Amino acid sequence: MTEPALTPDLIAAHGLSPDEYDSILEIIGRAPTFTELGIFSAMWNEHCSYKSSKKWLRTLPTTGPQVICGPGENAGVVDIGDGQAVVFKMESHNHPSYIEPYQGAATGVGGILRDVFTMGARPIAAMNSLSFGEPSHPKTPQLVNGVVAGVGGYGNCFGVPTVGGEVRFHAAYNGNCLVNAFAAGLADADKIFYSAASGLGMPVVYLGAKTGRDGVGGATMASAEFDENIEEKRPTVQVGDPFTEKRLMEATLELMATGAVISIQDMGAAGLTCSAVEMGDKGGLGIKLNLEDVPVREEHMTAYEMMLSESQERMLMVLKPELEAEAKAVFDKWDLDFAIVGETIAEDRFLIMLNGEIKADLPLSKLASTAPEYDRPWEPTPAAAPLEDVPQIDPIDGLRALISTPNYGAKSWVYEQYDSMVMGDTVRIPGAGAGIVRVHGTGKMLAFTSDVTPRYVRANPVEGGKQAVAEAYRNLTAVGATPLATTDNMNFGNPEKPSIMGQFVGAIQGISAAVEALDMPIVSGNVSLYNETDGAAILPTPTIGAVGLIRDEAALIARDVREGHVLLQVGEAEGHLGQSALLAEVFNREDGDAPAVDLAAEKANGDFIRANAEWIDACTDIADGGLALAAFEMAETAGVGVLLDSADTPTLFGEDQARYLIATSFDKAEALMIAAGQAGVTIASVGRFTGDTVKMGGSEAPLAELSQVFRTSFAASVA
C-alpha cells in the first residue's frame, strides 16, 4: 500500500505538536516514514511518556527497606518476609471504558494481571476503583452495567479473587468515567523477572495470542480529550480473552522456571512498539524486528498496524538461545504462539523490517529516554472560602438520606458479580473494609484497599492527596495490617490548563508528605490525564491502592460485633463538615475546605490500634459520612442495633481525619482507655451496640428498615 503523505493534520491526529514534530526531524535528520511517525506517536504520547508528569513523579518517595523494586518496571515489588514478595500495581483504562464499557474494563483487568505475572508473580488478588457520572445521566446505567460486567467477566474467567475497591458517582464524570484496575501477586523474592534486555544477538521472542487490528492507536487516543465524535474512536478499544490470558500466565510462569528468560515485557499500551523500545532502552541495546514473523490473525497487516496494535494477551521476551527448544515446547503445550521475531543489536537502533524492506530505522534511546518532558505552568488551587452555616438535621433523616444514595448505599450489587473466593484464600470479601487474602501455606495475610475522596482534592489538592493516603493507611490498620507500600493512579483533566496542572502538583505534594510520614512508599503507578469531554474536566482523582501485612492470625482484627459491646472513638473530633458527604448528598452543597490531615496523629493513632489489637473485637476507620455512617455500617453488618449518645450534626456527620471506631467488651474498653492514656492518644466512649434499632440522641428507627434502604438503594439508582 502507498503510505499517506505526512500533512500537518495527520501529524496532529497522531497527538504530536508542531514543536514535537520538529524535534523528530532534528533527531533523525529527515522526514519520518508513516510507520516511524506512528512509533514516535506511540512512544511520545502522554499515556506512555508521562511527559507532563515526570518532573513531579520524581519527587515521590519510592524507597524503603521493604521495597525490592520501585517504579519503572511492570509492577512494584515489596518484601513480606520469609523470602516472599508481593508484586502489585494499579492502572487506568478510562478512555476505552467510556467508549466500549465491557471490553474497556475487561482489558483493563487483563493488562494489570499481565503486569503482575510478567514479573514472575502469580496473581492472588484484584481490586478496582470506579467513578461514574450522575445516576440520572442517560449514559450512566449503561456504563455501570458494562464496566461491572467487564471487570467480573474477565477476572472471574481468569480466576483471581476481587477482594476490594470503590464505586462513586458525580456529575463531573458524566462524560468520562474512570476505571482503575489493581492486581497483586506473590513471588519468591529472589525470582523476580525484569524487562531490561541484555546480551548481543539474543533472540527477541513474541509470546501469546496473535496480533490483529484491535486497539491500533489506543494509547494516543487515551492521551486526548473527548468530544462529540467519541463513537469514531471505538476501533481503538482492545478486545480481551481471559481464557487465553490464563494459559499465557501458566505458560509464562512455567517458562520462567526453565531459566530461559533473560528479560520479559508485557505488551500493553502501544503494543509491540512500547515493549520492544522499553526492553532495549533499559538494557542499553538496539532491537531489530522482522515483522513478517509476527503471528497475525488478519491478512495484509501493514508495519504501522503491527507496531501499534494493542491486541491483548501478548508478551515480548529476550531468550537464552540455547534454551529455545525448551521454551518453545512450553508454549506449544499451552497452544500459544511462540515466534522469534528479532534480535538484540549493539547499535542504538530500532530497526523494523517487513519482507526485507526497512519500515523504520530510528535511534532507539531517543524514543524512550529523550521523549519530551514538560514543566507545565501551574497555579495553586485557591484556598476554599469559609464554610457557611450547616443546619442541624435529624440524625436518622441524615443517615437515611446518605444510605439512600448509590454513593453510600451498599455496593453488594457490584461485588456480588465478582468471584471473591476463587483460589480459596480469601479471608474478607468486599464490603467490609480492606480485603484480606491468606499467603497460601503460611500464617501471614495480605490486606488490600483503594481510596480517594475527589471532593477533598478539588477543594484542597494538598490535603486531599494526604487524605487519600491516610485513609488507605487507616483501612489497612483497622484490620490489623501493617501498611507496607502504595501504588497510585493519578486521574486528572487537561494538564495544559494551569489550574488542572496545579491540582496535579498539589496532590503529588500531599501524597509525598503522607507516604513519607506513614512509611508507605509509592512503588508503582499510572498517570491518566486529559480526562475531559468538551472541555469539562473530571474531579481530580488520585487513587491510592495500598497493601498491608498481617503477620499472623493473632494480629487480625475481625468484625466481631455483639450485643452489649461498647463503641469507642479514637482520635480528635471537631465536627468538620466542609466537603462532607452530608453536605453533598443531603444539602446539595460542595463548599468549604477539605478536612486537615495531621500526619503525626495518623501515625500515632494507627500505631495504637495495631499495638492493642488484642483488645479490639471490631474496628473501622471514620471517613465519609462520619461517626453516624461508620457506626451504622458496623451495626448493619452484625445485625445488632446501635445507640450513639450524641444527636449533634457536626459530631455525627463531621469528617475529621485520623479517627477509628472500635467495638469491644466493657472490660477490654477499660484496658484500651488505660493504654490510650499512656500513649497520649485521644479516646472516648460514644455509644454501644444494643437492641434492634438505630438510635442517635432522641431520634430512632428500626435497623431492619434502614438495612433494607441500605441494601437496595444502589441497584435501584443505576442497575
Helix (H) or strand (E) run with residue 272 in it: helix 271-283
Other CB atoms within 10 Å distance of the CB of residue 372: 15
CA distance 477 to 480: 5
Active-site position among 47, 170, 565, 576: 47
Say if strands 693-696 and 642-644 run parallel, antiparallel, or are unpaired: parallel
CB 644 within 8 A of CB 686: yes
CA distance 120 to 266: 12
Task: Verify whether residue 14 is a known catalytic residue.
Answer: no
Distance between first and last Cα of the chain: 47
Helix (H, G, I), strand (E, B) or coil at 664: strand
CB 431 within 8 A of CB 415: yes
Active-site position among 93, 95, 170, 576: 93
- C-alpha cell read off for 179: 476505571
DSSP state for residue 237 in the 8-state scheme: S
Helix (H) or strand (E) run with residue 354 in it: strand 350-354
Note the maximum CA span of the chain.
84
Say if strands 286-290 and 350-354 run parallel, antiparallel, or are unpaired: parallel
CA distances from 251 to 187, 407, 430, 521, 531 (A): 16, 41, 30, 32, 36
Task: Verify whether residue 93 is a known catalytic residue.
Answer: yes
CB 463 within 8 A of CB 597: yes
CA distance 161 to 163: 6
String of DSSP letters for 169-235: E-GGGTT--EEEEEEEEEEETT--------STTPEEEEEESPB-STTTTHHHHTTS-B-TTGGGGGG
CA distance 278 to 367: 9
State the burial class of residue 666 (Cβ atoms within 10 Å of its Cβ: 0-12, 13-18, 19+): exposed
Interacting residues of 327 by C-beta distance below 8 A, sequence separation 6+: 205, 255, 258, 260, 261, 319, 338
Catalytic residues: 47, 93
